[in-house]
Structure 1
Amino acid sequence: MRVLVADDERLLADTVAEGLRRFSMAVDVCYDGGGALERIGVNRYDVAVLDRDMPGHTGDEVCRCLADSGSGTRVLLLTAAAGIRDRVEGLGLGADDYLTKPFAFAELVARVQALGRRSAPALPPVLAQHGVTLDVARHRVTRDGRPVNLSPKEFAVLHVLMRADGRVVSAEELLEQAWDEFADPFTNAVRVTVMTLRKKLGEPQVIHTVPRAGYRIGGPA
């Protein structure tokens, strides 16, 4: 899942981003509305976490732009204003959810994960294919009942492949969905991550390379 975090409170924005990355999300960060507008013009996000009260272009403006674009990006608005009128107004702009500051980080994660599931075709909270089970909410993976300890990036790559449900996923698509904006498109990070993921999942192999196309979950192409 790829997430944009935009908040002029730099420490808060960086802390939220780092926390979401621990849950295998690819997170881009900016500290004003102008930066958020630039990024949504270039990248496709599953979820945008926006502070309503940023200077210059506000979170409201960014939210409205996303709603008008039809991009499918889900929006979680953050604000210190806790009144019902404020929540209603934010949701009326096209936001999908609303969270007041200060908030519990566990609640933020749960809300972002829920919005991420809504940004794509409906999928069950637990994905199971070819003996591999992936539980997004609990951040757990098993292979034939055996726990598999994955790094955040390995978990993210496996999630993208399992969401594809047998469709071939290109290396470029994996970079876009599992890495942030600083990923080098010429890096071998995807190949190395898939290689270590295969080793951890064990035999028989469930991730197969499709020459000149990408990777898929399932039997050999």
Structure 2
Amino acid sequence: MISVLVVDDQDLVRLGLRTLLTSEDGFTVAGEAADGLTAVRLAATLKPDVILMDIRMPGIDGLEATRRIVEFSDTRVIVLTTFERDEYVFEALHIGASGFLLKDTPPVTLLDAIRTVADGGALLSPSVTRTLIREFVTKGPRRVVPHPRLGQLTEREREVVALAAEGLTNQEIAARLVVSPATARTHVSRAMVKLGARDRAQLVVFAYQSGLAT
């Protein structure tokens, strides 16, 4: 059973999400919050598997709430956004959110995303990660800020991270480098550990910020 904390300042949105989750086998609503501070408190006490996190809320917003939650919890956070109006997604992934979804995401897709994240997977496929992050990165000048642990990566790991940022899967990385998929997966995993990336989406963010991807 996957426990989900629903965080949104709109009563109607919370009602809709709660109705969807409680109508499906394998899900339970751990609780609800209408603001960021309550979300942080409930995350600490309820310890849900996944949090559906709105961005714009009273008190502290969803980004700050996410930042605080990932500092003390392994709970996975999915940021919900309207995309065209909320240009905070890049920052959300950087601070530790496991990914994001549009608020008009089809119910089946939302449920599948929650399952994926609860199982420890990356919410966004490599190609979607690349497309969405590029959308934000290309909106203005970007200052390269190398990750403080970038020097721990081997040359091959740097190469693998750059390929992951291009949107390549482990199988495609393996084909590009002429290695086995297991070897490519190992390089990706080691790079994630060294850089402290919670998932592949955050690894891609680090690649862009560090100048490994352009």
Give the match for residue 86 of structure 1. 88
Say whether the 8 Å CA contact 1:78–1:99 is kept in structure 2: yes
Corresponding position: 1:110 with 2:112: yes
Matches within 5 A, 1:112-131: 112-118=114-120
RMSD (CA atoms) = 1.9
1:9 aligned partner, one-letter code: Q
Give the match for residue 33 of structure 1. 36
Measure, in 2, the Cα distance between the counterparts of 1:31 and 1:49. Answer: 12
Structure of greater Rg: 1
Give the match for residue 8 of structure 1. 9
Q: CA deviation at 1:81?
A: 2.7
Segment drifting more, 91-100 vs 110-119 = 110-119
User: 1:108 aligns to what SS in structure 2?
Assistant: helix
Measure, in 1, the Cα distance between the counterparts of 2:106 and 2:36. Answer: 24
User: 1:56 aligns to what SS in structure 2?
Assistant: coil
**Gapped regions of structure 2 (runs ≥ 5):** 122-214
Measure, in 1, the Cα distance between the counterparts of 2:90 and 2:117. Answer: 18
Structure with bigger helix share is 2
Q: CA deviation at 1:84?
A: 9.7
Say whether the 8 Å CA contact 1:51–1:79 is kept in structure 2: yes
Measure, in 2, the Cα distance between the counterparts of 1:6 and 1:65. Answer: 14
Deviations 1:1-54 (A, max 9, x none): 111000011111111112112223121112111221221121111101000111
Say whether the 8 Å CA contact 1:14–1:29 is kept in structure 2: no
Say whether the 8 Å CA contact 1:80–1:100 is kept in structure 2: yes
Measure, in 1, the Cα distance between the counterparts of 2:86 and 2:5. Answer: 26
Q: Which of 70, 78, 81 does residue 76 from structure 1 map onto?
A: 78
With normalisation by structure 2, the TM-score equals 0.51
Give the match for residue 125 of structure 1. none
Segment drifting more, 22-31 vs 60-69 = 22-31
Deviations 1:46-74 (A, max 9, x none): 101000111111111111012111x2101
Give the match for residue 55 of structure 2. 52
With normalisation by structure 1, the TM-score equals 0.50
User: 2:119 aligns to what SS in structure 1?
Assistant: helix
Measure, in 2, the Cα distance between the counterparts of 1:19 and 1:57. Answer: 26
Give the match for residue 96 of structure 1. 98
Q: CA deviation at 1:96?
A: 0.2
Structure with bigger strand share is 1
Q: CA deviation at 1:93?
A: 1.6
Give the match for residue 19 of structure 2. 18
Measure, in 2, the Cα distance between the counterparts of 1:12 and 1:6. Answer: 9
2:39 aligned partner, one-letter code: A
Say whether the 8 Å CA contact 1:49–1:78 is kept in structure 2: yes
1:50 aligned partner, one-letter code: M
Measure, in 1, the Cα distance between the counterparts of 2:97 and 2:52. Answer: 10
Deviations 1:83-135 (A, max 9, x none): 8963222211210011123221211111111111118xxxxxxxxxxxxxxxx
**Gapped regions of structure 1 (runs ≥ 5):** 120-221
User: 1:118 aligns to what SS in structure 2?
Assistant: coil
